[in-house]
């Protein structure tokens, strides 16, 4: 009798809409981490579907599911189910997957799905088999789902033998907007090739890896040779098939090196200890990028509310999390998912950085002087404009200018002269420099305070750079640099601007960037009075002056 009042397709349409929104990340307000995959969804929907998830979403924007209980592939199916009411066909090995779905559904407390699975299993007579767990290694590739998943794209991941050697670039696939976390355990690869057109596997469904690097670093770097032509001496990466899938290199890295891993308390504390897909590092000999990718995965960034789009930071965080959690399924695991988002809490300490404590640059006197302009505004009261050389503060740049000019040139010349006389503390003969920096490089004149730094420096003289990027092959003298470089491949930008959402790969860059919003321009040209938010721009500006092209402050637009 109420027929007239009801639009029969309403609920279906609604679901459809929601699912569409989910695939696009629209209004998604929660991220679910399952092992190495990230899923976005809507809290409301999850809460309405799963009692377990409901209990989690109220407190967290980031959920971490026990991958022992739910594999990424299974969770994808489940999420699809939640949003569509349909359980996709389980592909090869389907029954087992069905069992895993059942187990996961029970775990997540989704009665409808539990019932459905049971029914299906009973129908197929395999209900008794289900083991309650999942078969992470078997699920993998066959699965196709609409679920937007952010997975590591370090390559073909478990790209054992069945796949042709993959161009390093291919796996990254950042163009599709998804970050592929290491699918190290057979997590469904998600190249579009595997994604049936009929499913919502559209590129935009994943996270927007980068605003500024759509073709991004990866696109730029990957296609380029991974074996840099100029560095033939490198012990050279073994034949490609030996090379680890990038994922392995990145996420797996060297288990032993993952001290970042939770100290045991965390479920699945040892990452990849027995990941069957792990392969050996490309170059056994040079100190391999231990943990390279992993390190960056373990880094966390500014904490911020989840936006509709999963940002790389989140992704990184997720990846980090799941990395932590990643462990062979056989390992004993807690029965309940550990949603310790807090553990992943961004390292807030990184969110703010004065970044203003620049030391004197080793550059020319001009640069050095410019460096003096760095200061800590907070500590100066009203006299924000400080003359570093003498430490005197001034309330305005004009006053500072006036003051600075008084000893500006003198200062410059003085320094220059001083340097000429004593090229550098560490350069001259025995003296204060040698005492302060007793560790001298045998290849050049530099010296350092401690042997470690010297060792580090000496690597810069090596013909062979010991840290190759597992993605493009580019080599670095420092692991940290390589890690940072890797981050650019992965589009991981942990540092987000609160004001505009722009993200950066480095804290320092964020600090710089924030000045755009604050209007702070702490770097001032002592020649023309031009102010700059970034020191490097002041420096380049100063070069213009030094090139003999004086300009007036007003000349800038």
DSSP designation for 330? T
96/351 with CB nearer DNA: 351
245/468 with CB nearer DNA: 468
The CB-of-361 to DNA minimum distance in angstroms stands at 3
67/493 with CB nearer DNA: 493
CB 145 within 8 A of CB 88: yes
DSSP designation for 274? T
122/543 with CB nearer DNA: 543
Tokens matching residue 421: 């006389």
Strands 30-34, 37-41: pairing is antiparallel
Strands 439-440, 447-448: pairing is antiparallel
| Integer CA distances (angstroms), 487 to 179, 250, 355, 537, in order | 12, 10, 21, 25
Q: Compute the Cα dihedral for 22, 27, 30, 35 and give only its sign.
A: positive
- Using CA atoms, how far apart are residues 46 and 414, in angstroms rounded to an integer? 68
75/448 with CB nearer DNA: 448
73/473 with CB nearer DNA: 473
123/549 with CB nearer DNA: 549
371/470 with CB nearer DNA: 371
The CB-of-517 to DNA minimum distance in angstroms stands at 9
The CB-of-298 to DNA minimum distance in angstroms stands at 6
189/400 with CB nearer DNA: 400
The CB-of-514 to DNA minimum distance in angstroms stands at 9
The CB-of-454 to DNA minimum distance in angstroms stands at 8
Instruction: Using DSSP, state whether 386 is helix, strand or coil.
Output: strand
Tokens matching residue 97: 């997957």
The CB-of-74 to DNA minimum distance in angstroms stands at 31
188/530 with CB nearer DNA: 530
The CB-of-513 to DNA minimum distance in angstroms stands at 4
Tokens matching residue 412: 């410059």
Instruction: Using DSSP, state whether 2 is helix, strand or coil.
Output: coil
The CB-of-272 to DNA minimum distance in angstroms stands at 15
| Integer CA distances (angstroms), 523 to 400, 512, 518, 532, 533, in order | 12, 11, 14, 5, 6
Q: Compute the Cα dihedral for 16, 17, 22, 25 and give only its sign.
A: positive
Could you write out the DSSP letters of every residue in 4-21?
Answer: GG--TTHHHHHHHHHHHH
364/434 with CB nearer DNA: 364
Report residue 535 CA to chain centroid gap: 26
396/552 with CB nearer DNA: 552
The CB-of-70 to DNA minimum distance in angstroms stands at 28
The CB-of-339 to DNA minimum distance in angstroms stands at 24
Comparing CA positions, the residue from 125, 136, 77 lying closest to residue 101 is 77
CB 272 within 8 A of CB 266: no
DSSP designation for 448? E
Strand partners, 324: none
The CB-of-459 to DNA minimum distance in angstroms stands at 7
- Using CA atoms, how far apart are residues 377 and 356, in angstroms rounded to an integer? 9
| Integer CA distances (angstroms), 486 to 334, 353, 412, 494, in order | 33, 23, 40, 13
CB 370 within 8 A of CB 540: no
DSSP designation for 93? T
- Using CA atoms, how far apart are residues 534 and 298, in angstroms rounded to an integer? 29
The CB-of-319 to DNA minimum distance in angstroms stands at 13
């Amino acid at each position: 009798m109420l027929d007239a009042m009801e639009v029969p397709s309403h609920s279906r349409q609604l679901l459809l809409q929601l699912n569409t929104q989910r695939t696009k990340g629209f209004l998604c307000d929660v991220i679910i981490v399952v092992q190495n995959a990230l899923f976005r969804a809507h809290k409301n929907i999850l809460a309405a579907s799963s009692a377990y998830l409901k209990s989690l979403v109220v407190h967290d924007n980031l959920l971490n599911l026990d991958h022992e209980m739910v594999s990424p592939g299974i969770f994808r199916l489940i999420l699809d189910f939640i949003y569509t009411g349909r359980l996709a066909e389980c592909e090869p090995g389907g029954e087992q997957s069905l069992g895993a779905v059942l187990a996961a559904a029970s775990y997540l407390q989704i009665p409808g799905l539990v019932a459905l699975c049971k029914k299906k299993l009973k129908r197929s007579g395999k209900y008794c088999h289900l083991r309650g767990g999942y078969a992470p290694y078997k699920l993998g590739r066959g699965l196709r789902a609409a679920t937007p998943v952010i997975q590591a794209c370090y390559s073909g991941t478990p790209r054992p033998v069945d796949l042709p050697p993959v161009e390093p670039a291919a796996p990254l696939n950042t163009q599709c907007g998804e970050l592929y976390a290491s699918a190290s355990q057979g997590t469904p690869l998600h190249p579009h090739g595997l994604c049936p057109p009929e499913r919502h596997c559209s590129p935009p469904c994943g996270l927007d890896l980068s605003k500024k690097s759509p073709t991004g670093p990866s696109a730029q770097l990957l296609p380029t040779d991974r074996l840099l032509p100029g560095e033939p001496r490198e012990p050279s990466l073994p034949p490609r098939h030996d090379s680890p899938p990038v994922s392995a290199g990145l996420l797996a890295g060297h288990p032993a090196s993952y001290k970042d891993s939770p100290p045991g308390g965390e479920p699945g504390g040892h990452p990849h200890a027995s990941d069957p897909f792990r392969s050996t590092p490309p170059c056994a000999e040079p100190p391999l990028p231990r943990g390279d990718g992993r390190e960056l995965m373990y880094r966390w960034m500014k904490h911020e509310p989840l936006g509709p789009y999963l940002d790389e930071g989140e992704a990184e965080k997720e990846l980090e999390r799941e990395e932590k959690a990643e462990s062979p399924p056989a390992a004993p695991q807690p029965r309940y998912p550990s949603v310790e988002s807090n553990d992943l809490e961004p390292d807030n300490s990184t969110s703010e950085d004065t970044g203003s404590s620049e030391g004197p640059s080793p550059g020319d006197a001009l640069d050095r002087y410019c460096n003096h302009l760095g200061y800590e505004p907070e500590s100066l009261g009203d006299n924000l404009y400080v003359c570093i050389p003498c430490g005197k503060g001034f309330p305005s740049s004009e006053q500072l200018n006036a003051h600075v000019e008084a000893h500006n040139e003198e200062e410059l010349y003085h320094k220059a002269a001083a340097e000429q006389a004593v090229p550098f503390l560490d350069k001259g003969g025995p003296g204060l420099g040698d005492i302060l920096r007793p560790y001298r490089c045998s290849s050049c004149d530099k010296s350092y305070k401690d042997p470690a730094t010297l060792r580090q420096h000496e690597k810069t003289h090596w013909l062979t750079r010991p840290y190759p990027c597992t993605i493009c092959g580019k080599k670095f003298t420092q692991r940290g640099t390589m890690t940072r470089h890797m981050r650019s491949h992965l589009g991981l930008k942990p540092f987000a601007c609160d004001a505009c959402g722009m993200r950066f790969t480095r804290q320092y860059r964020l600090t710089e960037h924030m000045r755009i919003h604050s209007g702070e321009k702490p770097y001032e040209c002592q020649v023309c009075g031009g102010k700059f938010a970034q020191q490097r721009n002041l420096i380049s500006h100063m070069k213009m002056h030094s090139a003999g092209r004086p300009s007036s402050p007003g000349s800038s637009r």
